[in-house]
Structure 1
Amino acid sequence: MDKPRKKITDFVEKAEVVARTMRRDELLFSYNGILYPVTVCSPETFRALESFEARSDDIILAGYPKSELSYSLPSHAMLHFFRLIRTDILLLIRNPKDVATSYYHFSNGMAIVPSYETWDDFFTDFMSKRVAWGCYFEYLSQWNKYADEENVMTITYEELKENRLLGVKKIAAFLGISLTEEELQLVVERSSFQAMKKNSQKTHGAFGDILFRKGGVSDWKNLFSEDQNEKMDKAFEEYVGGTKLGKKLKYEVYCKA
């Protein structure tokens, strides 16, 4: 494990140890109306983002929890200073039902966020904006305002699952990276979920199995009730139905029972 990655895993491990000593109601704090984990985020960091200046060659990966496979800047916080930066931003989004499902399992595996006895309890909090990192639908709605910016590329979790080779080519083209056929194939092989899960102990330490659970599509069908389906369908239409990001998610394909 390289030093930067080890520094991150050590940080998370220490945060987990501290979180296990805290009560459930102590795990989150609110900043600008969004809940965040106390042991890995701080108001001081978010205030510092207000004067953050990115370099022209910086690349930022933005993603709501469990919509992507890497750690990224806190999504809502980054929106706050979006106008201050002119660097490349890769926005990865995922169908909301699988986001909620994956987030539920993540919450019950990581001590830094509150765990849940039942899926129904988690769903209520997820839809009521009471989970860490805020409301996914509000997140999508806010990002939709910047979806046409030339320095923002949006790609979905599902299209990467469908055709990883094409997805890698699109990302490389957006970032201006020239890859040989051999390099392209290497990236495709190493970025498969199976490969990342197999190597997760080396890359993410003790939390590899939690971060890389299934990596599939439509796992939500194992949890959602008919009533929950209807509530999320309604919320999707209210926040992003008919928008650019809403259409890109192909809700009718991935989120209809």
Structure 2
Amino acid sequence: MEVKGDGSAEADKADFQARVQGMLEKAKQLKPEELVFRYKGVLYPSVLSSVQTLQALGNFQARPEDLVISSYPKCGFNWVYFLLCNIASENQTESKDGKPGVQNKVKLLEFENAVRYEMMKSFQSPRIYGLHTHYNNLPPSINEKKTKTLVVFRNPKDNAVSYYHFCQNNPLLPTYSSWDEFFRKYMTGEVCWGSYFDHALVWEKHFDDENVKIITYEELKEDLAKGVQSIAEFFGLSLSEEQIQKIASRATFQAMSDNAQKTHSSIGKVIFRKGVVGDWKSLFTKEQSEEMDAKFEACLAGTKLGAMLKYDLYCQE
């Protein structure tokens, strides 16, 4: 959902809240099966996106100086987006018209449309935007322009549990009869945005690309200040130690959760639930845990991304 580059913060907030309310009303009119659509074999939420949007996304024109975040859902995207916006703000100087360019940000491109993409051409740089879509469905211009892309991953067990609760509490997404049903669909990629492991496998191939940096939810939980510095350095943005600490203090889970109503309207309480590592133990059965272990071993064992995820530490009893 876009935060416009023109107008006041209050106007932007009102626009955002109106859009959220409109989507909630639309969702109420749909049957459960109508909450999703399939595009190129992958499910997407119909209230938030459309075939036309995803087709137009292919023609989106990235810039080399754009600041891009890509992640599979519920890997910490909102957290990292908040960090990046704050990092950019600390580096932003006043533009000629008196408006900071960092206002030129869009949360997720898949939630916009061709008209919005056209409008973004007038945004000053740096533009900040994100995507949940699979690497192969990114706008080709991102790779053509070597636009720096920050990729966020989370250990798959916690990701699955977080995604399940998100679906169960989000009226814009389909719900499931049980955790067991969701787990089966998650493992086969029959959830919105497809398979976690498909995303992981393709990003692993681009782990060492010069315009790609992969970070994990867990490393941010381990040392948030270090993560802020790492993100800033990747995008060529300079921060003082004081600025790093200020951003990190604003971005604790508790601080973001307390502010969720203001930043994300009525959907905020759904986005910020627990923010912990290890919550997978609350739902996974022994058999499900072993199934996930085998899947991880088959897909990511011995890879650089697999090592980053510290599976033995975070996903084993």
Give secondary structure in 1 for the equivalent of 2:169.
coil
| 2:46 paired residue number | 38
Is 1:18 the counterpart of 2:26 in the alignment? yes
* Mapped partners of 1:61, 1:78: distance in 2: 14
Deviation at 1:202, TM superposition (A): 0.7
* Mapped partners of 2:282, 2:178: distance in 1: 13
| 1:233 paired residue number | 293
Deviation at 1:85, TM superposition (A): 3.5
Is the Cα–Cα contact under 8 Å of residues 100 and 123 in structure 1 kept in the other structure?
yes
| 2:101 paired residue number | none
* Mapped partners of 2:147, 2:17: distance in 1: 27
- RMSD of aligned alpha carbons: 1.7
* CA gap 1:155/1:2 in 2 versus in 1, 3 angstroms: farther
Is 1:246 the counterpart of 2:254 in the alignment? no
More deviation, 122-131/65-74? 65-74
State the AA in 2 paired with 1:47: Q
State the AA in 2 paired with 1:247: A
Structure 1 residues without counterparts, runs of 5 or longer = none
Computing the radius of gyration over CA atoms, which structure comes out larger, 1 or 2? 2
* CA gap 1:83/1:172 in 2 versus in 1, 3 angstroms: closer
Is the Cα–Cα contact under 8 Å of residues 54 and 86 in structure 1 kept in the other structure?
no
* Mapped partners of 2:225, 2:14: distance in 1: 29
| 1:162 paired residue number | 222
More deviation, 73-82/97-106? 73-82
Candidates 23, 35, 50, aligned match of 1:27: 35
Q: Percent identity of the aligned residues?
A: 43
Which aligned pairs between 1:183-202 and structure 2 lie closer than 5 A? 183-202=243-262
Give secondary structure in 1 for the equivalent of 2:146.
coil
| 1:73 paired residue number | 131
Q: TM-score, normalised to structure 2's length? A: 0.77
Deviation at 1:117, TM superposition (A): 2.5
Deviation at 1:125, TM superposition (A): 1.1
Per-residue CA distance 1:102-141 (angstroms, 9 max, x = gap): 0010001111211123111111111121111110011111
Is the Cα–Cα contact under 8 Å of residues 53 and 84 in structure 1 kept in the other structure?
no
* Mapped partners of 1:240, 1:143: distance in 2: 11
* Mapped partners of 2:132, 2:291: distance in 1: 26
Is the Cα–Cα contact under 8 Å of residues 44 and 193 in structure 2 kept in the other structure?
yes
Is the Cα–Cα contact under 8 Å of residues 79 and 143 in structure 1 kept in the other structure?
no
Give secondary structure in 2 for the equivalent of 1:139.
helix
Candidates 120, 129, 145, aligned match of 2:180: 120
Deviation at 1:185, TM superposition (A): 1.3
Structure 2 residues without counterparts, runs of 5 or longer = 1-8, 79-106, 108-129
| 1:88 paired residue number | 148
| 2:236 paired residue number | 176
* Mapped partners of 1:14, 1:5: distance in 2: 14
Is the Cα–Cα contact under 8 Å of residues 77 and 152 in structure 2 kept in the other structure?
no
Give secondary structure in 2 for the equivalent of 1:108.
helix
